[in-house]
Structure 1
Amino acid sequence: MSFKDLPAGARPREKLMAQGAAALGDAELLALLLRTGVAGKNVLQMAQELLDGFGGLAGLLHAGLDDLKRIKGLGGTAKRAELTAVLELARRALAERLKERAVFDSPEAVKHYLQLHIAARPHEVFAALFLDAQHRLIALEELFRGTLTQTSVYPREVVMRALHHHAAAVVLAHNHPSGCAEPSRADEAITQTLKAALALIDVRVLDHMIVTRGQTLSMAERGLL
């Protein structure tokens, strides 16, 4: 079922043209990309089921081509390719913003950027944002996976990557798949260990952010750095 089969007041395209993109919900925006639904399911219903199945926009932004292929109605390559391209553009747009401006000129952009990259991962991921002397983004790297402990996060590897990027500062980040953003004692210990190791090469740790679906907690804002 396509847009033309929807009631006039429920058509996202007309609503966007009349009220602007900000007036549309997530499912409505996604429906614009999908354009058509499947037998017995209109495009808005399909868009909402897609969001529900991936845990919202954050989960969908991590979906790969193979993940999308398993969704009824996305078996064709054209629709999957278009959706994947748009999701990648969203990630790149935020990265460009962080490369042009000091990250803490727009702290919310940093949090959104991390949401796009690691919030929906089913396992723990430890990452670092390497920054230049003006605190602009050089690169984001996922360095470790699995349950984070002091023995699974290697300071030597983080130091080597900081030297590789000629970084002046870093923002550390990891996700909590459990959904609880509160830092653990292990999180605090890892932060202090890495802070001391990076200080030896004159690289500052500006923050350590803990990411869950829909929330990003700053340890610096908590006074834990």
Structure 2
Amino acid sequence: MKKRKIKDFPKSERPRERLLNYGEKALSDAELLAIILRTGNKNYSVYELAQNLIVDFGSLKRIAEVGIGELIKYPGIGITKAVQIKASIELGRRIFSEKKNYFGESILNPHDAFLIFKEDMFDLKEEHLFCIYMDVKNKCLNKRLIAKGDLNIVYASPREIFKYALQENSSKLILAHNHPSGDLTPSEDDIIFTKRLIEAGKILGLEILDHLIIYNEDYVSLKEKKLI
């Protein structure tokens, strides 16, 4: 059977033309992905390739999570297409992050803090430690990346954490780091590190309110678990 190409579709049914005529919100996930991929392969049209990708990986979210190395193993996805997919996803993530400006808002519970951290933590392959700096009324003054490490551990300097706190004239802070494995169980090192920061903070008049461990859409609060 002859392979169907996008040019074989009626013009009104081609993803690019549908976007022009009806707007991007009218397109399915497969149609949007087809526009990014641009061309198919010897077996499938670009639209069929996009559909197959979503079905075989399970979701767009899963495609966003995998690395380029895994994408290029998929038949019909070479380096160029893999890079186009990852670049498009990253642009979307950055736009989403820009839309959410939490600075100046009050942080009343661990979930409020999680909402501020999660865009930076999504799909990271190594551990990153971030910190939110707050004033006396729990209003967010700033958020900073403190350290990043290998697959298993973040090497963080308390000096860096407290230096930024003094620069921001902050009186309270919340820490968060990710567990790339997906296991949110706090390690003994996580707990010891946080307790040491709490004690050091008392000397400087800085209150460590919490430490979150995050994996994509999930998190654990050491404070809620009564571990600190």
> TM-score over 0.5 for the alignment?
yes
Cα distance in 2 for residues equivalent to 1:29 and 1:224 = 47
* TM-fit CA distance, 1:50: 11
Deviations 1:129-170 (A, max 9, x none): 222333224123232424437xx4322221112112222211
Which position in structure 1 is the counterpart of 2:99?
A: 93
For the pair 1:59 / 2:61, whether they are aligned, the reply is no
2:214 to 201, 211, 220: 211
Deviations 1:11-55 (A, max 9, x none): 8x79xx8xxx7xx98x45953873855342544427638977997
Identical positions, percent: 19
* TM-fit CA distance, 1:172: 0.6
* Unaligned residue ranges in structure 2 (runs of 5+): 69-77
Q: For the aligned residues, what is the CA RMSD?
A: 4.4
Which position in structure 2 is the counterpart of 1:31?
A: 33
Aligned amino acid, residue 123 of structure 1: E
* Residues 74-89 of structure 1 mapped to structure 2, 5 A cutoff: 84-89=90-95
| Cα separation, partners in 2 of 1:116 and 1:57, compared to 1, 3 Å | farther
For the pair 1:103 / 2:111, whether they are aligned, the reply is no
For the pair 1:148 / 2:148, whether they are aligned, the reply is no
* TM-fit CA distance, 1:108: 3.6
Cα distance in 2 for residues equivalent to 1:123 and 1:41 = 36
The size of the alignment, in residue pairs, is 205
Which range is displaced more, 32-41 or 189-198? 32-41
Deviations 1:157-212 (A, max 9, x none): 21112112222211111111221101111111111011111222222112100012
Cα distance in 1 for residues equivalent to 2:53 and 2:106 = 36
* Unaligned residue ranges in structure 1 (runs of 5+): 64-69
Which position in structure 1 is the counterpart of 2:201?
A: 198
For the pair 1:181 / 2:184, whether they are aligned, the reply is yes
Cα distance in 1 for residues equivalent to 2:201 and 2:212 = 17
